[in-house]
Amino acid sequence: MKNTCPVLDIQNLSVGYKKIPVLNSVNLSFQKGNFVSLLGPNGAGKTTLLKTMAGLLAPVSGTVMVNGKNIADYKRTELAGIIAVVLTEKVSPGIFSVFEFVAQGRYPHTDFFGRLQKKDLNVVNSALKMVNATDLADRQLSSLSDGERQKAYLARALAQEPEVIILDEPTMHLDLKHRMDVMSILRRMCQKKGIMIIASLHDVDIASKISDCVALVKNGAVTGWGSPEKMLSGNSVADLYDFDDADFNPALGSIEIRGNGQRGKVFVAAGMGTGAVLYRLLAKKGFRIATGVLHTNDLDCYVAGSLGAECVVQAPMEPVSEDLFNMAAALVRQADFIIDTGFLAGDLNQRNIELVKYALAQNKKVITMRRQSNGFFEGFNCEWLIKCFDETEVLEKMELLF
């Protein structure tokens, strides 16, 4: 960071409505060109904090400093050249083309009657281009879909040529495609134009991948502030949202939802990512999952761990040891089903094949997703060996046999 003072500096700030604080003693400092996400459950006070930072709400106590000057000392037009906002409420200005709407963003830069000069037209055009909405320019704002509208809102904020854009849940109501569009546009604004983005978001996974900084907001306070890599460990996200049966896995950047585990116990012999999808499916359908023997660097190990499965794990790069094999064998004996995901067997995990053979020897019901399994299970009692192509078929077979 250069030696410049932070664009936004918040000191001992309490925010709220009508002198009743929602968030207390917030201390944050925002550096130029950063992408900052506010995370936290609904009603935690994210919107109130954002509006106070944008100067739309007066703080209950404390100060917001913008470029080293108290926000309350700014003239409104002056502040408008520094901070632009995108709010959640739907804007319905009446008969406005997208171009005219975006041009409203020039408000702090135009003359008394808001006449657009050549420079203003250029700024509006390039704002539209930046959000990939050049083709929407002539459309009526009221005729746009939610995704297109959001782009128009972003372009309007951009046309204001601010240093900071503050967004309140910019991806709300959007489908996945537009959600990704909006996020990548924001990222581009941040990286190409050096505009600081402060956004409240609900997608922890996207936030963790896109932000330079996250602030965790809960129970009337900012409970965490720092880089997402540091702040979004599994437990902190679960605490933030009071997850009972879900877990955020920072390595995968995804939220795994644990099942209730009230149905039978299933042992999955997996490895190298072949089990991940199956684990999720089994958890969703309420099976208790045991799995092994997984190396700790295996994708399957992360997913199974997040889902709360009983895992027998082995340090990476080492062959499965005898002890671990026996532990896994014990789990096999307790299981109602054994599923073989068709993992590739090499030197290190050869014994997982033996686990499946062991299950067959124990007269367990074994389902295999292996395309060519003949060689492996020769000489075993294959009465209970069920062959399936994919995860859904596995589940169908299990439902049948239960």
Partner 1 sequence: MKQMDNMAREIIFYNRKRLYLFFSLLLFFLIAAGGINMTTGSMNISLPDFFNIIFKHFTGTTEGFIVWKIRIPRALASILGGAYLAVAGLLLQVFFRNPIVGPFILGISSGATLMVSLVMLTALGLGMPGLNPFLITLAAFIGAGGAMLIIMSIASKVKSGVTLLIAGLMIGYLCHAVTSVIIAFAEAENVKGFTLWQLGSFSGFKGSELNIMIFAGGILLILAFGLSKPLNAFLLGEEYASSMGVNIKLFRILILLCSCGLAGLVTSFAGPVAFIGLAVPHITRLIFSTSDNRILIPGAVLLGGGITCFCDLIARSLFAPVELPISAITSFFGAPIVIILLLKRSNSL
Residues interacting with partner 1, by CB under 8 A?
A: 51, 54-56, 75-81, 83-85, 87, 89, 91-96, 99-101, 104-105, 107-108, 110, 112-114, 116, 118, 121-122, 124-126, 129, 134, 137-138, 142, 160
Q: How far is the CB of 136 from partner 1 (least distance, A)?
A: 13
Nearer to partner 1, 78 or 229 (CB): 78
Residue 361 DSSP label: H
β-strands 164-168, 83-86 pairing: parallel
Contacts of 204 (CB under 8 A, 6+ apart): 39, 232, 237, 241, 248, 255
- Nearest to residue 197, comparing CAs of 263, 232, 363, 188? 188
Residues 190, 247: Cα–Cα separation, whole Å: 30
Q: How far is the CB of 100 from partner 1 (least distance, A)?
A: 7
Contacts of 122 (CB under 8 A, 6+ apart): none
Question: Reduced to 3 states, what is the DSSP secondary structure of residue 65?
Answer: strand
Q: How far is the CB of 193 from partner 1 (least distance, A)?
A: 17
Q: How far is the CB of 69 from partner 1 (least distance, A)?
A: 16
Q: How far is the CB of 105 from partner 1 (least distance, A)?
A: 7
Nearer to partner 1, 108 or 220 (CB): 108
Quick count: other Cβ atoms within 10 Å of Cβ 388?
A: 19
Q: What single string gives the DSSP state of each residue in 182-239?
A: HHHHHHHHHHHH--EEEEE-S-HHHHHHH-SEEEEEETTEEEEEE-HHHH--HHHHHH
Nearer to partner 1, 104 or 132 (CB): 104
Residues 59, 40: Cα–Cα separation, whole Å: 20
Nearer to partner 1, 38 or 355 (CB): 38
Nearer to partner 1, 199 or 303 (CB): 199
Nearer to partner 1, 119 or 333 (CB): 119
Residues 402, 32: Cα–Cα separation, whole Å: 60
Nearer to partner 1, 40 or 105 (CB): 105
- Nearest to residue 376, comparing CAs of 396, 397, 355? 355
Q: How far is the CB of 8 from partner 1 (least distance, A)?
A: 15
Q: How far is the CB of 196 from partner 1 (least distance, A)?
A: 15
